Amino acid sequence: MRHLIRRLGILILSVVLLSSCSLLNQSPIASITASSLSGNSPLTILFDASDSYDPDGSIATYEWDFGDGVQGTGATSTHTFTSTTVRTFTVTLTVTDNSGGKATTTQSIEVLPAGSTGSNPPTARFSAKPSYGNSPLTVQFDASLSYDADGSISVYAWDFGDGSTGAGKTISHTFTAAATSNITVTLTVTDDSGSVGSTSLVVTVMVPVIVPTDGPTASFTKSEPVTIYHSDNLPDTPSLFDVTFDPALSTAASGHTLKTFVWNFGDGETLSMATNATVKHTYASGSPSHTFVVTLTVIDEQGLSDSTVRNVTVVN
């Protein structure tokens, strides 16, 4: 009987240890490498999951779902996609480790009709640094964020809005102005199939204005845009962004007080307030990126005023 009890104890201890090991198992990491991400039908792609790994064991099985009703197995798998229309297939990889832990990852594959030269126009995006400043203002433009979903971009064409043009993925330009001006810069990109896409951004070139010594000084800060609604149907349905403005840095001359704060949000909406309270404004944008020029004008009890501007750029 004592021998039986001892064997039973060892068995229970073994079960507990095995359960503990199972509870401590780390999930594997799934990774997909595809030989191509887009192309014409029929499109044959080699998928490789060999970069998948298990931190505390090994990968036991690789399962593929190619998004068209076909499945496959193995660390590498070749599949041919066919479609008579532009279609995106979502390929799903599920890996299982030697302790039963699972992990999944996905990869999108775009398939174009046979003989198509590409149906998706490129998307133009660029940054401008700085986007405002005193004249003469030298700005560095970078279009590296532009892309083409089914090809490559071959031409980057710039219209600087002041009668000057340029070409190249990155370029600099110097703006001059006789008075404070908002200048619209347009980038047009052309892909390898001849399709084009464009976008614009406003550069503000300022000419300092001498303000009476007893007049007010306008100043404000802004928050980064917060996306409150992301649209997947641009430009028909715009995305929405919240931005908060704070005019607390605006000041009146010694012995005077600020009476009015007038906001022009750059999208056709304005607001007049009697205090320096913060203001939250919602912007709508139907383009990949858009810049709004915000103006704050402060007026003191003498009727003297001062204005300042800031650019707000939203990116979908």
User: Is residue 27 scored above 90 in pLDDT?
Assistant: no
Tokens of 215: 């007049």
d(CA 109, CA 105): 14
User: Is residue 11 scored above 50 in pLDDT?
Assistant: no
Query: Which contacts of 252-256 are long-range, i.e. CB under 8 A and separated by 24 or more positions?
Result: 252/216, 252/298, 252/300, 253/213, 253/214, 253/215, 253/216, 253/300, 254/214, 255/214, 256/214, 256/216, 256/300, 256/301, 256/302
Q: What is the pLDDT of residues 45-96, one digit of tens each?
A: 999 999 898 888 999 999 999 999 999 999 999 999 998 877 889 999 999 9
Q: Specify the pLDDT at position 70.
A: 95
- Of 208 and 264, the one with more pLDDT: 264
Domains annotated on the chain, with CATH:
30-112 (2.60.40.10), 118-208 (2.60.40.10), 209-316 (2.60.40.10)
Mean pLDDT, to the nearest integer, of 272-296? Answer: 95
Confidence of residue 242 (pLDDT cuts 50, 70, 90): very high
User: Is residue 23 scored above 60 in pLDDT?
Assistant: no
Confidence of residue 118 (pLDDT cuts 50, 70, 90): low
Q: Considering the chain, what percentage of its residues have pLDDT values greater than 90? A: 66
Mean pLDDT, to the nearest integer, of 282-297? Answer: 94
User: Is residue 7 scored above 60 in pLDDT?
Assistant: no
Q: Specify the pLDDT at position 184.
A: 95
Q: Specify the pLDDT at position 166.
A: 95
Diameter of the chain measured on Cα atoms = 105
Mean pLDDT, to the nearest integer, of 292-310? Answer: 95
Helix (H) or strand (E) holding 306: strand 305-315
Q: What is the pLDDT of residues 163-218, one digit of tens each?
A: 999 999 999 999 999 888 999 999 999 988 888 889 999 999 999 876 556 889 99
Neighbouring C-beta atoms of residue 188, cutoff 10 Å: 16
Tokens of 125: 């995006």
In the chain the first and final C-alpha atoms are separated, in Å, by 75
Query: Which contacts of 31-34 are long-range, i.e. CB under 8 A and separated by 24 or more positions?
Result: 31/93, 31/105, 32/91, 32/93, 32/105, 32/106, 32/107, 34/91, 34/107, 34/109
d(CA 22, CA 20): 5
pTM of the model: 0.38
Q: Specify the pLDDT at position 259.
A: 96
Closest to 197 (Cα-Cα) out of 212, 211, 187, 205: 187
Confidence of residue 13 (pLDDT cuts 50, 70, 90): very low
User: Is residue 21 scored above 50 in pLDDT?
Assistant: no
Q: Specify the pLDDT at position 119.
A: 56
Neighbouring C-beta atoms of residue 181, cutoff 10 Å: 17
Tokens of 130: 């700085």
Strand partners, 72: 64
The highest-confidence range among 106-120, 210-224, 234-248, by mean pLDDT, is 234-248
Q: Specify the pLDDT at position 272.
A: 96
Strand partners, 26: none
Chain-centroid distance, C-alpha 46: 29
What average pLDDT is seen over the chain? Answer: 88
